[in-house]
Amino acid sequence: MSDHGDRSPAREFAALARGSTRLAVVGATGAVGREVLAILADLGVEGGRVRAFASSVDSGPTIRVGSLELPVVALPEDSGEIATALNDVDVVIGAADAVTAARVREPAERVGCVFVDNSSAFRLDPSVPLVVPEVNPEDLDGACTVASPNCSAILLATALEPLRRSFGIERVVVATYQAVSGAGFAAIAELERQSRAVLDGHPVRPSVFPELCAFNVFAHESEVDGDGHNVEERKIVEEIRRIWRAPDARIAPTCVRVPVRRAHSQAITVELGRPALEADVRAALTAGQGIEIVDDRDERRFPTPLRASGGDTVLVGRIRRAADARVEGGGGATRDFALFVCTDQLRKGAARNALQIAARLLAAR
Ligand SMILES: NC(=O)c1ccc[n+]([C@@H]2O[C@H](COP(=O)([O-])OP(=O)(O)OC[C@H]3O[C@@H](n4cnc5c(N)ncnc54)[C@H](OP(=O)(O)O)[C@@H]3O)[C@@H](O)[C@H]2O)c1
């Protein structure tokens, strides 16, 4: 485990945990919103300090996550009413869709809230920082509204950051293995329902995804452009370039859904900026923030989505010279390396990343 010493949850989230901080979660009944509440519950935040907004109260008048039991409030349509509802709130975590996020931003800023949003609404907006705290925390400086990146971009950026800092990066080729919960709460139920139906020999009709998700693997369901890239692949490229401030960074993703409940995986092949020994690459990753090395070749113990589920770190393993590595210089140094990484995308890929940002912004006020 190499999450830096002063980054224990208690310290990292101290500004959120203190008794005077009031929080709101917009989209509290969804997959990401529930995870935000779970982290707040683990921090000991009392229910009286948290407001839970959803589209309506149809899914229940209250939501219970861990020790928190909160009334669910329908987010008002009107901007003035949203401002009134957020009047005494310090931090708003956006865990709904992009249209809802766009409605919340202005009233949240008007009443002086920190607004950290998980949707795609502001990720490419130059007036809004796009931040992974382990990678570009300096971009938070003075911000009120901050975007948390796409979950696959967060995983890739966090895993590669130690290599980018130590050796530079020329090119990344990445294949994703994305959990169904990346498509929201309804997708988890769909995987469970379909799995039972297939095993029982009943007919199955997909609803959340265009393909069967049980016992299947398929290209990411987002729209495909004229060049054949889907939206998820475009997001990874554009967001990583923005986070790295490297508009020409070479990143080639292929995004795929797999029948996993939670935690995304990625097979990464990276070309470094300069040749390195495998031992140096391993040492850099071991010292990286938010990373846990799981790489036991003898026991064949490597990252898996199940190992990553519910955790807060990026699991990194299968660290090796690429099979086609070009050796440069003495001792077998090369620029070509391969990794396999997993993280719980509902935690580090969304809820945790957003709360890390919120805690830093609040602490700096
Ligand atoms: N899932 C992931 O792994 C992941 C990772 C990174 C980022 N994100 C982003 O995080 C956001 C939430 O994703 P999710 O997976 O949690 O989706 P989800 O499970 O479908 O939840 C969506 C939430 O938004 C609420 N909502 C919808 N329309 C609303 C409105 N008009 N006003 C207020 N609340 C509204 C829903 O409330 P009701 O229950 O009342 O409908 C629900 O609480 C999305 O923008 C997604 O792209 C998701």
Q: Is 220 a catalytic residue?
A: no
Chain mean position to CA 213? 21
> Do 183 and 205 form a contact (C-beta atoms < 8 A)?
no
Nearest protein CA to atom 21 of ligand 1, as residue: 30
Which pLDDT value is given to residue 5?
Answer: 41
If you measure from the C-alpha of residue 188 to the centroid of ligand 1, how many angstroms do you get, rounded to a whole number?
A: 13
Which pLDDT value is given to residue 56?
Answer: 86
Q: Sign of the CA dihedral 223, 225, 269, 274?
A: negative
Which pLDDT value is given to residue 111?
Answer: 97
Which pLDDT value is given to residue 10?
Answer: 75
Q: Which residues pair with 301 in a beta bridge?
A: 296
Which residue of the set 113, 229, 264, 342 is catalytic?
Answer: 264
Residue 10 to residues 5, 15, 16, 57, 114, Cα–Cα distance (Å):
12, 9, 10, 32, 20
Nearest protein CA to atom 43 of ligand 1, as residue: 27
Which pLDDT value is given to residue 330?
Answer: 77
Which pLDDT value is given to residue 4?
Answer: 40
Residue 118 to residues 37, 162, 264, 270, 345, Cα–Cα distance (Å):
14, 24, 16, 27, 12
Which pLDDT value is given to residue 3?
Answer: 38
Question: Quick check: pTM over 0.85?
Answer: yes
Q: Is 151 a catalytic residue?
A: yes
Q: What's the longest Cα–Cα distance across the chain?
A: 67
Q: What is the 3-state secondary structure (H, E, C) of 185-201?
A: HHHHHHHHHHHHHHHCC
Q: Give, for ligand 1, the residue of 118, 348, 353 to mutate: max count of ligand atoms closer than 8 Å to Cβ.
A: 118
Q: Sign of the CA dihedral 36, 39, 41, 45?
A: negative
Which pLDDT value is given to residue 139?
Answer: 98
Which residue of the set 151, 213, 255, 342 is catalytic?
Answer: 151
Nearest protein CA to atom 41 of ligand 1, as residue: 55
If you measure from the C-alpha of residue 119 to the centroid of ligand 1, how many angstroms do you get, rounded to a whole number?
A: 8
Residues in contact with ligand 1 (CB, 6 Å cut-off): 26-33, 53-56, 59, 75, 95-97, 100, 118-119, 151, 181-182, 184-185, 345-346, 349-350
> Do 246 and 166 form a contact (C-beta atoms < 8 A)?
no
> Do 151 and 131 form a contact (C-beta atoms < 8 A)?
no
Q: Give, for ligand 1, the residue of 32, 93, 116, 262 to mutate: max count of ligand atoms closer than 8 Å to Cβ.
A: 32
Distance separating alpha carbons of residues 204 and 181, to the nearest angstrom: 19
Tens place of pLDDT per residue across the chain (365 aa): 333 444 576 789 999 999 999 999 999 999 999 999 999 999 999 999 999 999 987 777 899 999 999 999 999 999 999 999 999 999 999 999 999 999 999 999 999 999 999 999 999 999 999 999 999 999 999 999 999 999 999 999 999 999 999 999 999 999 999 999 999 999 999 999 999 999 999 999 999 999 999 999 999 999 999 999 999 999 999 999 999 999 999 999 999 999 999 999 999 999 999 999 999 999 999 999 999 999 999 999 999 999 999 999 999 999 999 999 999 977 899 999 999 999 999 999 999 999 999 999 999 98
